[in-house]
Amino acid sequence: MKTSGNTILITGGGSGIGAALAERFHALGNTVIVAGRRRAALERVCDGRPGMHAITFDISQADDIARLARDVTEAFPALNVLINNAGIMRFEALDHARDLSDAEETIVTNLLGTIRLDNALIDHLVTRRDATIVTVTSGLAFVPLVSTPTYNATKAALHSYIIAQREALRGRVEIIELAPPGVQTDLTPGQGTRPGYMPLEAYIDEVMELFAQVPTPAEILVERVKPLRFAEANGTFDQTLAALGEMAAKARAAQ
């Protein structure tokens, strides 16, 4: 992926990793469109940054995804990079029957929303030079956090989807997976200051160094996420699963 001269659409661009990527890619000389549900948050990201634009949409709504794809390709025909970052994370207990609305919303937002948006833009992207799709998954795709089961499952499903997508589009659209560790963002309540999680700026610094490599890695993996990504291959899955759950429980209890 080239790092400048692109027109980039970033979903979930009003906060956290999406906003940080928007700011960094804009600083490198890209036109950036941030999209999400909260207009005020998107406008804060754009404030003082000429060449950055905001579009509101709801990734859980199929009609809104179709509208976004239509509007963004009409307004920005040079669009050549999509960064799928929008997502939600909910804590769920599996030891008793529960209302499944959180699980259903997580699947629609994280998995189906990403598939729908890719589908809505693919006919446009295959016509563009240097076309790229970056999809944010998670280290939890590889070692699950027991308290967020549906979130883990959506990210694992996206990892598999990305592999197939990469092969189907080889030579036409570059497919990149960005798999973060736990990062200090507002993905869950209190996470922005949660001990044991990677500071956002440090995470983005390392990510941008990886994006600058030639060729760009097919998987953007900071050092901190590699124990999760390679736990099964390294024979450390059970230990990593237990340590992850213990770390997360202690971090939440400390707040």
Residue 63 zone, left/alpha/beta (φ > 0; ψ -120 to 50; rest) = alpha
CB-facing half-sphere around the CA of 51: CA atoms within 13 A: 16
DSSP 155: H
Annotation says 161 is catalytic: no
CB atoms within 10 A of CB 85: 25
Active site residues: 151
